[in-house]
Structure 1
Amino acid sequence: MPTAASRHQPVRASLAAFVGTMIEWYDFYIYATASALVFGKLFFPTTSGFYGTLASFGTFAVGFLARPLGGAVFGYIGDRAGRKKSLVITLLMMGTVTVLIGLLPTYASIGIWAPIALVALRFIQGIAVGGEWGGAVLMASEHSPDQSRRTFLASFAQLGSPAGLILATLMFKLVSSLDNAAFLDWGWRLPFLMSALLLAVGFAIRLSVQESPDFLDEQRRRAGAPAAAKAESAPLAEVLHGAPGLLMLAIGANVLGIAGFYFTNTFMLVYTTQYLHLERALVLNGLLLVSVMQFFITPVAAHLARLSGNHRFLVTMAALSVVSPYAMFSLVDLGSLASVTAGVAIAILFIGAYYAVIAGFVSEAFPTRIRYTGISMAYQVSGAIFGGLTPLLGTVLAEQFRGQWWPLALLFSCISLLSMLCVARLGRDRAISMSERLHVQES
């Protein structure tokens, strides 16, 4: 009979997933915001505004390129040693590196070593976040006592993203009230140094959660299996050799939830401040309001998807995202706080709803023994290719087509269409697989 402590584990696991991912995404988003606002000036001052921004976003992209490595390393730890062990390590890594970035001397102090150190720390940060997301999703969903609630509980890990963005935006809004000299001198460091406090809180919460029941069941299965059956391949090898098509579809399905957000929350900072010449504070205020909206969208979307079916819900949200950027840019170009907020909110409404559900949907596609590795690699490879490069590509298009937003809107539509097609195929393949299993059982 379950104890009182075990009955509370689903709630505790969901809270830990939320708080942990909030901290990790806070760390990631403050880097993204600093890349758009200050890193070009402080770490690449010898380049022009455009090329300095590209160099800054290049260091941002380095973190994405490191994330598949983190997914592979911590996927192995999570699938073989335990989800909890993996998550504690990633949280410590992420928080420590973020504090070090806040203490990093700039180009004016140590010259070329400043951008080199920034890239190195960013790479380590990417490895940490590469292992975080998959474990947080699984710790929440695998503690569910009811199969039908798994996607809903997994959304608590997704809830950490808008919460981290809200916290990051609030911190940069606070330090942006400083005069420009103080902001560039020491103000930008404060959001990074605050990570030390968040790290202590998240570490305490994460330690209080028991290991995933699914993982423990898998360990018992392996312990009772014949010796020959125990000699399984490494999880990454199983994913790459045994399910390459599934992995590719899962990568594509995650594109909208990753690239879409970095388009609206990172690239739009550059587009609005450098190409529309809007005030930095105005744009940050608009993004903050949109982040609050996304926070509340996440649980509502997960609940609606549970009622209507995850597959149908995801396809609908992706289809609406295909057409949303045309309304977004039309409004953002008006330049007021209300129009900027409304424009980005239209895009985030559909991206946020999609993002809330996609984690649970994709995780169900992989068996327990390789689930951590499978969903981590899908998410992180998607991030490496599409998340890190989207702000770069958006900046190049904005520079090439000055005064025209239609190429940017087209880029956003392509991102949405790719995810819609991959989700549609994943849902069809899963339906066929279930039909085949039922046929075998009936026979």
Structure 2
Amino acid sequence: MTTPTSTPRRAAAAAFIGTTIEFYDFYIYAFAAALVLGQLFFPSDNAMLSTMAAFATFAVGFIARPFAGMVFGHLGDRLGRKKMLLFTMVLMGVATTCIGLLPTYAQAGIWGPIGLVALRFLQGISVGGEWGGAVLMASEHAPKGRKVFFASFAQLGSPAGLLLALIAFRAISEMEPEALMSWGWRVPFLLSGVLMLVGLVIRFGVPESPEFTKVKEQKQTSKSPVKDVLRHNWRQILFAAAAVTIGSGGFFFTNTFMITYVTQYQGISKSTILDCLFLVTILQFLSQPCSALLAERFGEGRFLKWVAALCMLVPYPMFLLVQTGNLVYMTAGIALAVLLLAALYSAIAGYMAEAFAAQVRYSGISIAYQLGSGLTGGLTPLIGTYLAGQFAGQWLPLALFFSVLALMSLVGVVGLSRLRAEERRNPSLSNPEVVTP
């Protein structure tokens, strides 16, 4: 089956714009958790406890993601990638907009935090179903030999969404504290409704994935894709989940926890760290496509192993530079870490996708990615806040924690590379039993 020349580019653009909107919604919650949600929904005399409570609700979204990955993976392998992407975008837009309308603890008592947790859970469900479909729409439309590069456009939505979220919160951070805490924090959430409509229009114009269409026409769709992939590809799932650890946990370390760390423990202003992260995210956005091209040129497995190994070393110079409190040095330190994280993040999606057969691919990559990111991405800011409180004034425990995350990714990439080598020697190892409907 052939596709028009423009279709791969349209699919990549749609994946990019869609994930940008999804990650904007996800990141504005992360920033709000670091800056205002603790005071608004979990008031306490202890600022650390309020912040940890807010980060705990942040983690709730990640808890939802593995379950969502299984549900939407099943539906995406049975019904198609496009339908799931349209549904997840509506779900995210509605949940995020409702957070902007939610009464606080002072206004509604315990019902405010309960509503916040429920809506955060819906955000997690949306992202849990979104990521796998966006990656596959881009990679399965891609020309032969270019899957890693085209899949990287779905990953590019993360820094783009982060840039939008940083712009939104940088703007409201200039407000008077009373205005910010009363209504200003709601504005970034309410903008989500407008972005959702833009994303839906764009995604409607992209046809279904040609690989899924071929599987469906040949009546080779799996009746139970989640069951099949867990039975036949459980090793790929475990190694892939480990491989994404630093790509997910590392970003929330630098982009979420670092806000709390420098403002509460280093005495640096919110506007300074937000400006720093804005500059770093621009560099990340520009570097990710280049990293994906390098991965294709030098071999994805080899590239990912080197990057994961370097990620183990990078937190030490990063913290030494952050400790200076100088915007230029802080930016350089965080940028050094983020550029390495971005290199792994850009290439890992297409590399993971190739480890699973088309019949179970949505299920396989969704379960793996959401399992890895659900455990590490959600817990990283919480663990970081705890370590910072227990070892006040000491950055070494935090750097060691970052290195452990990178080591897990290295182990995952090595394991996934070996499994893919085995499958090349014996292709039947990657093909589950297909039950036709």
1:138 CA displacement:
0.2
- Name the residue aligned to 1:441: none
- Name the residue aligned to 2:49: 51
Residue 51 of structure 2 aligns to a residue whose secondary structure is helix
Which of 29, 32, 35 pairs up with 1:31? 29
1:47 CA displacement:
5.3
Residue 313 of structure 1 aligns to a residue whose secondary structure is helix
Please identify, of 428-437 and 315-324, the stretch whose mean Cα deviation from structure 2 is larger.
Answer: 428-437
Structure 2 residue 286 is matched with structure 1 residue 296: yes
Structure 2, unaligned stretches of length 5 or more?
429-437
1:433 CA displacement:
2.3
Mapped partners of 2:355, 2:246: distance in 1: 18
TM-score w.r.t. length of structure 2: 0.96
- Name the residue aligned to 2:431: none
Which of 149, 164, 169 pairs up with 1:167? 164
Over the residues paired in the alignment, what is the CA RMSD in angstroms?
A: 1.3
- Name the residue aligned to 1:192: 189
Return structure 1 stretches of 4+ with deviation > 3 angstroms: none
Which of 187, 196, 206 pairs up with 1:209? 206
The number of residue pairs the alignment matches comes to 428
Which of 387, 392, 398 pairs up with 1:397? 387
Mapped partners of 2:305, 2:366: distance in 1: 22
Residue 314 of structure 2 aligns to a residue whose secondary structure is helix
Structure 2 residue 235 is matched with structure 1 residue 245: yes
Letter in 2 for 1:156: F
Letter in 1 for 2:342: G
Aligned-residue identity in percent: 52
**Deviation string, structure 1 residues 232-257 (Cα, Å, up to 9, x no partner):** 55111112222211111011011111
Letter in 1 for 2:406: S
- Name the residue aligned to 1:313: 303
Mapped partners of 1:70, 1:274: distance in 2: 34
Letter in 1 for 2:201: A
1:280 CA displacement:
0.2
**Deviation string, structure 1 residues 275-311 (Cα, Å, up to 9, x no partner):** 1110000000000000000001110001111110100
Equivalent residues in 2 for 1:24-423 (5 A)?
Answer: 24-46=22-44, 48-146=46-144, 148-222=145-219, 232-423=222-413
TM-score w.r.t. length of structure 1: 0.95
1:437 CA displacement:
4.8
Change in 2 beyond 3 A, CA 1:2/1:414: closer
Mapped partners of 1:24, 1:75: distance in 2: 17
**Deviation string, structure 1 residues 200-224 (Cα, Å, up to 9, x no partner):** 11100000000000000110222xx
Letter in 2 for 1:130: G
Mapped partners of 1:326, 1:116: distance in 2: 39
Residue 207 of structure 2 aligns to a residue whose secondary structure is coil
Mapped partners of 2:166, 2:105: distance in 1: 25
Letter in 1 for 2:30: A
Letter in 2 for 1:334: T
Letter in 2 for 1:240: L
Letter in 2 for 1:178: M
Mapped partners of 1:2, 1:234: distance in 2: 28
Mapped partners of 1:437, 1:29: distance in 2: 40
Say whether the 8 Å CA contact 2:141–2:210 is kept in structure 1.
yes
